[in-house]
Structure 1
Amino acid sequence: MGLLLAALASGAVIFSGARDKQAVAKSSDRPNAVAALGRIEPESEIINLGAGMSPDRVETLLVARGDAVRKGQALGYLGGYAEQITQKAVLEAQLKEATLRRSTELTLNQQKVLSAETHKRQILEVSPLRIASQEATIASLDAKLANDKDILNSQTQLYDKGIQSRRLREDQQALVTQGEANVASARAQLAQLKQQFEVDKVDADVQIDLARAQLERSVAEFPIASLEAQVAKADATARRMTLVAPVDGRILNIKVKPGEDVGTGPILVMGDTDRMRAVAEVYETDIGRVSVGQTATIASRALQRPLTGKVVRIGNMVYKNDVLNVDPAARADARVVEVWIELDDAGPTVRLTNLTVDVVINTTETSPAVARAASP
């Protein structure tokens, strides 16, 4: 702690009113600390919300500068949003109608398939019974014909002996002739039943195949999949025309107002100001002295008191400095590495996004919590 007090005491030039002479003390004059300019920003970083598609114009904004917003909240709409919503509604209505019609056609054709299958089952069950009945009829006629022929033979023998009359023999002959005709007719009818049975079986299979083909056609006839794809496309386009908050946060600035054309820049600027941090731009020649866990002090004339924090992340790239140094002797093209500092009390910085601050990183003192985490 003595080293920290010594560093702060030696860095009094940063926090004093002499800032117009020198914004940040030279690190070479501070062996136990690294001094740098920095800025205050949300932990979410500053988020620039632009248009998902261009060219377009801003139709409606639902928020004002300073409003708190929640993740997923609609912040505004571009010019084509209403048209896309209407188009989506039309496509959804067409999809609903097509779905209903297809359902009706499917039900009808399923009933046709069921009817054809029932007809085939009837053929397979009833026709064999008719054939069996006809075969039984033929057997009965054959038996009667055989009996009539036997009687005819007996009467013929009696007639030849002069015992039987010719009239009785001729009557019996007529019965035999009629019986033979009945048997022939019954056999012809049996052949017809068998042939019809085979034809009906083929026809039943054809009717089933036809009904199933109509069922498949009714499925393919209605463009359900393409309508669903069009609805999804219209919905995606409408979402692209909607400005949506990617995180919980606050609207920091409005770049484009309703009615103005959207350019390549942002429409809204936002960030999660409930969680603020400092970003120090450390000279590349000093970055080797900085490590995660070191304590830091952040000061500005806009702050009533200096704030404290700890280094939580060190950048991996060297940039040209972005923070404006008010010292006319300072290098304008300095090469720096960004160092992220978590503030112990970020409350005073909630409404000071992009505030330029002076940062002193104590290179000899590490945050106790980080030290404990790093110890074996």
Structure 2
Amino acid sequence: MKPTSVRLILIGSAISLALAGFGIFSYTIFRPVSQEASSSPSPAVPATPNAISALGRLEPAGGVFKIASPSATLGGGVGGSRVTRLLIKEGARVKADQPLAVIDNYDSLLASAMQAEAQVKEAQAQLAQVEAGAKQGDINAQRASVLRANAELPKAEADFQRADAEYRKAQWEAERYGQLFQSGAISESELRDRTLNLETKEKQRQQVRQAVEQAKLELEGARQTLNSVSEVRPTDVQQAQARVQVAVANFQKARADLNNAIVRAPVEGQVLKIYADPGEVIGNDGILDLGKTSQMYAVAEVDETYIGQVKAGQRAIITSYAFPGEIGGTVERVGLQVSKNAVLSTDPVEKTDTRVVEVKIRLDDSTTTAGLSNLQVKVAINTAGATP
């Protein structure tokens, strides 16, 4: 071989090696990002013959509670009330029946409740007074009135007897002098004097008779009054009891209205989000969201085609990019209604309109997911009963 041919062969080989090295370098530097991303680890649910895969979401036990004001409807619907005081912060854990917020009508309702309570006490005092009857001092005073009236009656009757005797005497004299005048034994003036005396005695007799009747009436009235103050009538007691019942009912209503001005936690849980701060009107979202994050659930949307294979008690695995590893769980309840899927996959190949049934899965460990309500997850349900 000629030296010139050898030289050309060596130069060509060197050029080929250089081009190959440059190609490998260029591929390493400029390879597509999608290929690099596809090689990263994925939380995909392990595929096994007995596993049903589905998308789902996380939610607290019992779902998310929308807490609104009970007095909002009383005040004219949603948006009619304002938050005066907010007693908790976002993320705080609360107990059942713990006060969460105070509504703007609290002060006026508190005044109404205090007034109603005072009316109850007043009605109860009146009932006790009726049941006890009149005071002993009033009874003794009325007995004294009866004694005085009883003493006045005999005196009035004695005065009437004297007046009646004088009247009868004057009547006899007038008749006698009338006979004497007829026989001419006395003058007309003497007859007139006896007649006037008879008229005077008759008027006096009538006045004394009226005094006797008045004394009898006063005695009877004093006796009736004594009986009235001494007697506790059942009708008076019933009337007083009815007044107490009305006052108690008004107080209970006022207290219920006051309780509606304080928003309380219906269950023990964690405050997930606050929608209305102090001074703000309560909107359609209510005041806050509350959830039992101590126990989280995965709500898997299982395709209607495979729902017949899912049963309560089956084991499941839940995965997501938001937390490391995987979390086990147990199917607690299979839904009874088929609906359109709400959790959509980001994979453009998968269907976006699927008929699904919701399956609730109780997580074994809620520590890492307590703050991830509504997180999208992937679920694998082992239909054979063993852990996938």
TM-score, structure 1 as length reference: 0.62
- The alignment status of 1:338 with 2:338, answered yes or no, reads no
TM-superposed deviation, 1:211:
5.8
Shift of 1:110: 9.0
Q: 1:283: how far off?
A: 1.2
Distance 1:221 1:362, change over 3 A: closer
Q: How far apart, CA to CA, are the structure 2 residues paired with 1:64 and 1:106? A: 54
Contact 1:60–1:76 (CA under 8 A) maintained in structure 2 = yes
The CA distance in 2 between the partners of 1:252 and 1:333, in whole Å, is: 30
In 2, Cα distance between the equivalents of 1:213 and 1:331? Answer: 86
Cα distance in structure 2, aligned partners of 1:349 and 1:280: 15
Task: Describe the SS at the equivalent of 2:301.
Answer: strand
Preserved contact between residue 23 and residue 325 of structure 1 (Cα < 8 Å): no
Aligned-residue RMSD, C-alpha: 3.6
Determine whether 1:72 maps to 2:88: no
Deviation of the 1:206 alpha carbon: 10
Give the C-alpha shift of residue 278 in structure 1: 1.2
Q: Quote the residue 1:220 is aligned against.
A: 239
Q: Relative to structure 1, is the Cα distance of residues 18 and 312 closer, same or farther in structure 2, using a 3 angstrom cutoff?
A: farther
Counterpart in 1 of 2:300?
A: 280
1:307 aligns with 2:327: yes
Query: CA distance change for structure 1 residues 208 and 304 in 2, over 3 Å: closer, same or farther?
Result: same
Give the 5 Å matches for 1:1-376: 31-52=49-70, 53=72, 54=77, 55-109=80-134, 212=231, 216-217=235-236, 219-221=238-240, 223-366=243-386
The 3 A distance-change label for structure 1 pair 297 and 206 is same
Paired AA for residue 323 in structure 1: V
One-letter amino acid of the counterpart of residue 324, structure 2: Q
In structure 2, how many angstroms separate the alpha carbons of the residues matched to 1:94 and 1:19? 79
CA distance in structure 1 between the aligned counterparts of 2:97 and 2:369, rounded to whole angstroms: 25
- TM-superposed CA distance for 1:353, in Å, is 1.4
- 1: CA distance, partners of 2:97 / 2:382: 40
**Distance across 2 between alignment mates of 1:19 and 1:330:** 20
State the alpha-carbon separation in 2 of the partners of residues 42 and 258 from structure 1.
27
- Separation in 2, partners of 1:357, 1:36: 9
Q: Give, in whole Å, the separation in 2 of the partners of 1:206 and 1:100.
A: 23
Q: Cα gap change, 1:318/1:19 in structure 2, threshold over 3 Å: closer, same or farther?
A: farther
Give the 3 Å change call, closer, same or farther, for CA 236–284 of structure 1 in structure 2: same
1:51 and 1:18 mapped to 2: Cα distance? 50
SS at 1:87's partner residue?
Answer: helix
Q: Please tell me whether Structure 1 or Structure 2 has the larger radius of gyration of its CA atoms.
A: 2
Q: Which letter does structure 2 place at the counterpart of 1:95?
A: V
Contact 2:82 2:282 in 1 (8 A): yes
Question: Once the two structures are superposed, what CA deviation does each residue of 1:78-110 show, in whole Å capped at 9, x if it has no partner?
Answer: 111221111101111122123223322332349
Structure 1 19/70 Cα, relative in aligned 2: closer, same or farther at 3 Å?
Answer: farther
Between the aligned residues of both structures, percent identity stands at 34
Report the Cα offset of residue 221 of structure 1: 4.9
Q: Which runs of 5+ in 2 are unaligned?
A: 1-36, 144-215
SS at structure 1 position matched to 2:124: helix
Structure 2 counterpart of 1:61, which letter? L
Match of 2:62, SS? coil
Deviations 1:181-233 (A, max 9, x none): xxxxxxxxxxxxxxx9xx99xx9899758865756336515722222111111
Return the alpha-carbon distance in structure 1 between the equivalents of residues 44 and 350 of structure 2.
Answer: 9
Hey, what's the Cα distance between the residues in 2 that align with 1:234 and 1:206? 41
Q: Quick one: which amino acid aligns to residue 42 of structure 1? A: P
Please give the TM-score of this superposition, normalised by the length of structure 2. 0.60
Q: CA deviation at 1:36?
A: 0.7
Deviation string, structure 1 residues 39-58 (Cα, Å, up to 9, x no partner)? 11111321111121232111
Alpha-carbon distance in structure 1 between the residues aligned to 2:314 and 2:50? 11
> Cα distance 1:344–1:232, how it changes in 2: closer, same or farther (>3 A)?
same
| One-letter identity of the residue aligned with 1:279 | V
For the Cα contact (< 8 Å) 2:43–2:319, is it kept in 1?
no
